[in-house]
């Protein structure tokens, strides 16, 4: 018994649906908006690497410096902290690190799937902690969430 399977895309175990003729992706240099100047100097490289690692792990696409079949233009638009969970004596128990990115996704194989969206994530930390002492761990957690959301929106049509 022969079985013929035909699909409109390449599927992976992650649930990604990618056009069959797409072979590459690009994540050009990430920029930081003037509203996000509190971001550490290496933040754009860390975020870019997180995106690349996700796409490498979850797809068969190859990274190219620019003009990939799938292109992710990213700008960090929010990077700030805010006090949350106030206590009765007007102190706060937690501080929140907020990060928002604006992503313009261009699918050069299926142009009807192009979009521009904002993704936001945050993580709380004890207000008694110094941000510099916990920042890298917070960034790691937040970046994973942001990149998962971008991945789902771009290749699983979430």
Residue from 123, 125, 146 nearest 30 by CA = 146
Q: What is the pLDDT of residues 108-119, one digit of tens each?
A: 999 899 999 999
**How is residue 30 annotated by DSSP?**
P
CATH number for 23-155 (one of 3.90.1560.10, 3.30.160.150, 3.30.70.580, 3.50.50.60): it is 3.30.160.150
pTM for the whole thing? 0.87
| Bridge partners (DSSP) listed for residue 10 | 18
Taken as a whole, the chain contains a residue count of 158
Mean pLDDT to the nearest integer, 121-140: 96
Q: How far is CA 130 from the centre of its chain?
A: 25
Question: Where do the domains of the chain lie?
Answer: 23-155
DSSP assignment string, 96-111: EEEEEEEEEEEESS-G
Joined tokens for residue 88: 């009765």
Q: What is the pLDDT of residues 86-108, one digit of tens each?
A: 767 767 889 999 999 999 999 99
């Amino acid at each position: 018994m022969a079985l013929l399977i035909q699909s409109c895309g390449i599927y992976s175990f992650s649930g990604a649906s990618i056009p069959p003729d797409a072979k590459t992706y690009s994540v050009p240099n990430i920029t930081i908006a003037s509203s996000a100047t509190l971001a550490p100097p290496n933040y754009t490289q860390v975020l870019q690497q997180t995106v690349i690692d996700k796409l490498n792990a979850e797809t068969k696409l190859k990274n190219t410096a620019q003009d990939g079949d799938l292109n992710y233009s990213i700008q960090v638009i929010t990077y700030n902290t805010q006090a949350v969970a106030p206590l009765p004596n007007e102190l706060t128990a937690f501080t929140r690190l907020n990060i928002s990115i604006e992503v313009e996704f261009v699918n050069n194989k299926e142009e009807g799937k192009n979009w521009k969206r904002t993704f936001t994530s945050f993580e709380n930390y004890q207000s008694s902690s110094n941000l510099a002492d916990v920042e890298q761990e917070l960034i790691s957690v937040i970046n994973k969430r942001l990149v998962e959301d971008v991945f789902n929106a771009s290749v699983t049509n979430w």
